[in-house]
Amino acid sequence: MFDFVAFIPRAIVQGIPLLLGSTGETLTEKSGNLNLGIPGVMYVGAISGVVGAFLYEQAVPTGDLNNFLAVLIPLLCSLLGSALMGLLYSFLTVTLRANQNVTGLTITTFGVGLGNFFGGSLIKLSGASVPSLVLTRTSLAFTKTLPFSGSLGWFGKIFLSYGFMAYLAIAIALAVSYVLNRTRVGLQLRAVGENPNTADAAGIDVNRYKYVATCVGSMIAGLGGLYFIMDYAAGIWANDTFGDRGWLAIALVIFTVWRPNIGVLASFLFGGLYILYLFIPTGTNMAVKELYKMIPYVVTLIVLVLSSMRNKRENQPPAALGLAYFREER
């Protein structure tokens, strides 16, 4: 029998970074910015937090960390780092009106490089014998669960066994969903992404909306990187450990037809697909496992194709996605 009690929590912790990444990207895309730099932004979000945690751990050489500071410092560092990346992307694509695809890909190269460079340097600084940086003490603060969650059997395992950031991620996704659909700011943001000309004529500051949405989106996505290192990976940074999850987060945006609230469940499904190969018994045939790893990508492809076939007006990308806006265009 398939072990759901073991599978679901693992699927969820796999899904949380994707959820944060896709929520951030959805917010960004709603402003008309297709930020293909999200994978790089998530690396930067992770490494900024790691740097903050490393410095704090260095400052308190022995004993327990102050839990509050151990969480707050990496969190702020992470937010700052990814916000700067969002700012860089916005400056290039909004102010300088550069091509979004090219800028995004460059941000990814740059961000992944930045992450691995500082990660590698820190590993060297820490003098570890293995190529990884261990921040167990900080991770402990991130992974604190409710004290009674262990005593509630399968219920506790499935619903209560996560660090606070997992719940934060769900809250953020629902909040973004609410803001987009129910508030004035959300309405105006959607208008900017659909038709910046109209939004501009209605007196909305298009550039400001694009900047803010992109930077906030980057910050949310960056938290995905931070969660991955501090919670999922138990505080261990190794270069390239985050892998291609950033791209998967972008795929998830399409999978959820630009709706972060759908993203909550969809990301868990994705997380599950991502680790499904570990749970399917294959015996000695190691090669087949590689084929199972294809599943999330193939499923995304199928969703992509199906949603394009159905061609429903509400399920399409923001109409001005990927286009620079210039008011005096003739």
Partner 1 sequence: MNKQRDPLFHIVKRAALPWYKAWGIRAAAIVLALILCALITTLITGEDPIQVYVTIFEGGFGTARRAWILFHNLAMLLIVALAVTPAFRMRFWNIGGEGQVLIGCLASAACMITLGDKLPNGVLLAVMALASILAGAVWAGIPAIFKARWNTNETLFTLMMNYVATQLAAFFIIIWEVPKGSGTIGIINQSTMAGWLPQVGPSKYFLNILIVAVLTVLMYLYLNYTKHGYEIAVVGESERTARYVGIKVGRVIIRTLLLSGAICGLAGFLLVSGSDHTLTTSLAGGRGFTAVMVSWLAKFNPLFMIFTSFLLVFLARGAAEISTSFGLNQSFSDILTGVILFFIIGCEFFINYKLSFRSAKKEG
Partner 2 sequence: MDNKTAAVTMRNITKTFGPVVANDKVWLDIYRGEILALLGENGSGKTTLMNMLSGIYFPDEGEITVDGKKVVIRSPKDAFDLGIGMIHQHFKLVDVLTAAENIVLGLKEPGRLDLKAAAKRIREICDAYGFEVDPNQKIYDMSVSQKQTVEIVKVLYRGADILILDEPTAVLTPQETDKLFAVLRNMRNDGKAIVIITHKMNEVEELSDRVAILRHGQFIGDMPTKKTNAQEMTNMMVGHAVTLNINRPEPKDPKPRIEVKNLTVRSIDGILKLEDVSFTACSGEILGVAGISGCGQKELLEAIAGLQPVESGSIEYIEDDGSREPLLGKDPLSIAQMGVSLSFVPEDRLGMGLVANMDLADNMMLRSYRRGRSLFTDRKSPKALAEDVVQRLEVNTPGISTPVRRLSGGNVQKVLVGREISSAPTVLLTAYAVRGLDINSSYTIYDLINKQKEAGVAVIFVGEDLDVLLELSDRILVLCGGRVSGIVPGRGAKKREVGMMMTRLGGGKEDE
Task: Round to whole Å and give the CA distance between 36 and 318.
Answer: 15
Q: Which does 86 bind (CB under 5 to 8 A by kind): partner 2, partner 1, none?
A: none
306 is a site residue for partner 2 (CB under 8 A): no
329 is a site residue for partner 1 (CB under 8 A): yes
Nearer to partner 2, 32 or 74 (CB): 32
CB atoms within 10 A of CB 255: 24
**What six digits make up the tokens of 1?**
């029998």
Distances in Å between the Cα of 274 and the Cα atoms of 53, 170, 292, 317 are 28, 19, 9, 25
254 is a site residue for partner 2 (CB under 8 A): no
Judged by CB under 8 A, which stretch of 76-84, 98-106, 192-200, 227-235 contacts partner 1? 98-106
**What six digits make up the tokens of 295?**
């599943």
CA–chain centroid gap for 4, Å, is 25
Site string for partner 2, 261-300 (x = CB under 8 A): ----------------------------------------
121 is a site residue for partner 1 (CB under 8 A): yes
16 is a site residue for partner 1 (CB under 8 A): no
197 is a site residue for partner 2 (CB under 8 A): yes
Task: Round to whole Å and give the CA distance between 270 and 242.
Answer: 16
Residue 237 is inside which H or E element, if any? Answer: strand 236-237
Site for partner 2 in 156-195 (CB under 8 A): 182-184, 187-188, 190-191, 194-195
Judged by CB under 8 A, which stretch of 62-70, 104-112, 191-199, 259-267 contacts partner 1? 104-112
Q: Which does 195 bind (CB under 5 to 8 A by kind): partner 2, partner 1, none?
A: partner 2
Site for partner 1 in 198-237 (CB under 8 A): none
Task: Round to whole Å and give the CA distance between 118 and 125.
Answer: 10
CA–chain centroid gap for 157, Å, is 24
For partner 1, the binding residue among 16, 51, 112, 135 (CB under 8 A) is 112
Residue 134 is inside which H or E element, if any? Answer: strand 133-134
